């Protein structure tokens, strides 16, 4: 709880920097609209925070939530809200930064040659981030125009669930065959393995797939046990989500400023951060005990419900 309290206080210093950047990206935008109220912002923040680091697709859940809430279909308002659903990740980013601050500090020291193991971890995270950094800007418009809809989300949820069942079987089989119980640490991941996880992360650009799921599965496949795979996914998310949120602020900040008010933006990010901190702490322990099975079943049920409502 001390970490969560610290996160809450720190949020009041960090999150406004991200939000004000969105509000001031266009100096001519002086009359923000009201296409996001506090109640909606809190709902979006809770959905984002709870699902961001669970292998169930936060973006998919936000799209379904937006559909359920019958968000404004006006072109500019819709663009602004879609951008906000990425920028809201700022809260989750800060949550991971606080919870894994020792690893983050080790990476910083490693950059300056003061922590060799931190340098290795930083290298692995950079390699895993590069594929998404290369592909993301080119696919952004296509994803926003073609995939931010319930049907693609439902399909991705179902396909991802099948992948999770398979990955869980492979992991269990490997661990049964490992009589020594040896574990691979985050700093022992080979460069090619980190790059492989990064390639899998690119698949999660399709809403409904889940960045967390793909990177955890990638961790399984390179030899990480569930808790370590989740931790690598969290740290990689710190890099990837920061880049994604920053990119949206730079490219859609003017539209957000013209259509969304500052207060609800901040409220949603704050709720996302607190709920993400709780979800992250729970997930590491749960995966160590139970694996991905429950989340795979949840995805299948949700996909079926979405398809039923769409029919």
Mean pLDDT confidence for 88-94: 94
Instruction: Identify which has the larger pLDDT, 172 or 134.
Output: 134
The alpha carbon torsion through 171, 177, 180, 184 (nearest 10 deg) reads -30
Q: What pLDDT is stored for residue 18 in this prediction?
A: 36
Between CA 46 and CA 298 the distance in angstroms is 18
Are 276 and 53 within 8 A, CB to CB?
Answer: yes
Mean pLDDT confidence for 204-220: 97
Mean pLDDT confidence for 252-277: 93
Maximum Cα interatomic distance, the chain, rounded to a whole number of Å: 65
Instruction: Identify which has the larger pLDDT, 13 or 115.
Output: 115
Reported as a pLDDT band with limits 50, 70 and 90, residue 12 is very low
Q: What pLDDT is stored for residue 87 in this prediction?
A: 93
Q: Is the pLDDT of residue 47 over 50?
A: yes
Q: What pTM, to 2 d.p., does this model score?
A: 0.86
Q: What pLDDT is stored for residue 7 in this prediction?
A: 39
Q: Is the pLDDT of residue 21 over 80?
A: no
Mean pLDDT confidence for 210-223: 96
The two tokens of residue 12 are 């009041």
Q: What pLDDT is stored for residue 73 in this prediction?
A: 63
Percent of the chain with pLDDT over 90: 72
Q: Is the pLDDT of residue 58 over 60?
A: yes
């Amino acid at each position: 709880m001390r970490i969560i309290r610290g996160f809450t206080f720190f949020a009041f210093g960090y999150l406004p920097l991200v939000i004000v950047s969105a509000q001031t990206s266009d100096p001519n935008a002086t009359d923000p609209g009201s296409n996001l109220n506090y109640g909606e912002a809190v709902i979006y923040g809770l959905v984002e925070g709870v699902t961001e680091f669970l292998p169930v697709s936060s973006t998919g859940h936000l799209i379904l939530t937006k559909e359920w809430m019958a968000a404004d279909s006006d072109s500019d308002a819709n663009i602004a809200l879609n951008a906000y659903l990425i920028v809201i990740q700022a809260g989750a980013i800060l949550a991971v930064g606080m919870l894994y601050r020792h690893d983050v500090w080790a990476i910083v020291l490693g950059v300056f040659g003061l922590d060799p193991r931190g340098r290795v971890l930083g290298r692995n995270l950079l390699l895993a981030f590069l594929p998404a950094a290369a592909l993301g800007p080119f696919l952004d418009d296509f994803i926003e125009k073609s995939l931010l809809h319930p049907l693609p989300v439902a399909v991705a949820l179902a396909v991802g669930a099948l992948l999770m069942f398979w990955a869980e079987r492979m992991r269990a089989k490997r661990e049964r065959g490992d009589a020594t119980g040896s574990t691979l640490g985050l700093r022992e991941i080979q460069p090619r393995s980190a790059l492989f996880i990064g390639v899998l992360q690119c698949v999660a650009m399709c809403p409904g797939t889940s960045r967390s799921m793909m990177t955890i599965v990638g961790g399984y496949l390179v030899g990480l046990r569930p808790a370590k795979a989740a931790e690598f996914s969290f740290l990689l998310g710190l890099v990837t989500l920061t880049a994604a949120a920053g990119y949206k602020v730079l490219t859609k900040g003017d539209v957000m400023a013209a259509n969304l008010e500052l207060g609800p933006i901040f409220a949603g990010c704050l709720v996302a951060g607190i709920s993400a901190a709780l979800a992250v702490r729970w997930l590491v322990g749960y995966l160590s005990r139970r694996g991905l099975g429950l989340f795979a079943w949840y995805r299948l049920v949700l996909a079926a419900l979405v398809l039923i409502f769409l029919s």
